[in-house]
Amino acid sequence: MPGAPEEAQGDSVMRIRTGLHRRPAYVAAALYLLWLTACSGGGANPTAGAGAGVPVIGPPGTMLEKAGPYEVLRVIDGDSLAVDRGPGGGPTFLRLAGVEAPEDGAGGRCYGSQATAEARRLLDGQVVRIVADPNGELVDRNGRLIVYVWLDSGRMLNHLMLENGFVREHRYDGVPSVYWETFGTAEERARKAQRGLWSPDTCSGNTARPVEGVRRG
């Protein structure tokens, strides 16, 4: 069980004592994000308050810098987007770590279009910073980087979408994200408050339902 986060002195980035072990996926993620940071001209973290109490965490005794800032090029759906990583880099596709939105578009599922609309509301015209999950994989089957995304406001997008009922907690390939406890608590709060996809007027938590016949709350 991960321990309680401990705020680093004089910095918004926090340390955490955990039982995590350094994994090859984390090493690859760290190197790749350092390279992205170099391409963007620096990885300074000027935002205060890491996501309303959600810390930036890594293996025991480490702190992770957020890579970026990166301009958001477009939102694909409720849990994926494309960012510009700098001159000559082209778009980089991102997948939100630790959460999953209902499918949108053709064959869409209950609350998929609402999740996409909320992601667009939060991300259109914005810049973001990203951190890979040291507890999981770096890239998904579609070639997207699996990351935590911080908005310019200092809020973590993954957590914000979860606590407002637009996505559900998700374990990619069955591996819990490094934030699984925090995310589980946020999901439970959204469920009890019947927010978003948890409302009886929308999906009642059943996001496997097709869009047809579902009220759009």
pLDDT value, residue 138: 86
pLDDT value, residue 212: 60
Residue 18 has pLDDT above 80, yes or no: no
Residues 6+ apart with CB under 8 A from 3: 16, 17, 18
CA dihedral in degrees (124, 205, 135, 14; nearest 10)?
A: 60
Residue 17 has pLDDT above 50, yes or no: no
Q: Does 86 reside within a domain?
A: yes
pLDDT value, residue 210: 87
Which tens digits make up the pLDDT trace of 169-194? 999 888 888 899 999 999 999 999 99
In three-state secondary structure terms, 157 is helix
Question: Looking at the DSSP assignment, which residues form a beta bridge with residue 71?
Answer: 84, 127
CA distances from 135 to 32, 80, 157, 176, 198 (A): 16, 19, 18, 7, 28
pLDDT value, residue 56: 58
* Residue that wins the pLDDT comparison between 10 and 197: 197
Q: Does 12 reside within a domain?
A: yes
Domain count, the chain: 1
Known catalytic residue: 120?
no
Which residue from 24, 100, 98, 30 is spatially nearest to 58, judged by alpha carbons?
Answer: 30
Q: Does 217 reside within a domain?
A: no
CA distances from 186 to 16, 25, 152 (A): 19, 26, 21
Find the CATH number of the domain harbouring 62: 2.40.50.90
Which tens digits make up the pLDDT trace of 106-150? 778 999 999 999 999 999 999 999 998 888 788 999 999 999 999
Residue 4 has pLDDT above 70, yes or no: no
Mean pLDDT value of segment 141-161 = 93
pLDDT value, residue 6: 30
Q: Does 216 reside within a domain?
A: no
pLDDT value, residue 130: 93
> What confidence category does residue 78 fall into, taking pLDDT thresholds of 50, 70 and 90?
very high
Q: Does 186 reside within a domain?
A: yes
Residue 102 has pLDDT above 60, yes or no: yes
Known catalytic residue: 95?
yes
Distance CA 27, CA 134 (A): 8
- Global pTM exceeds 0.75: no
Residue among 15, 144, 155, 168 flagged as catalytic: 144
Known catalytic residue: 121?
no
Residue among 103, 118, 137, 187 flagged as catalytic: 103
pLDDT value, residue 57: 53
Which tens digits make up the pLDDT trace of 30-77? 444 444 444 444 433 323 333 445 655 544 444 456 888 999 999 999
Which residue from 52, 67, 69, 71 is spatially nearest to 14, judged by alpha carbons?
Answer: 52
Q: Does 211 reside within a domain?
A: no
Q: Does 107 reside within a domain?
A: yes
Q: Does 157 reside within a domain?
A: yes
pLDDT value, residue 43: 38
Residue among 15, 85, 95, 129 flagged as catalytic: 95
- The H or E element that residue 120 is part of is helix 112-123
Domain hosting 127: range is: 5-198
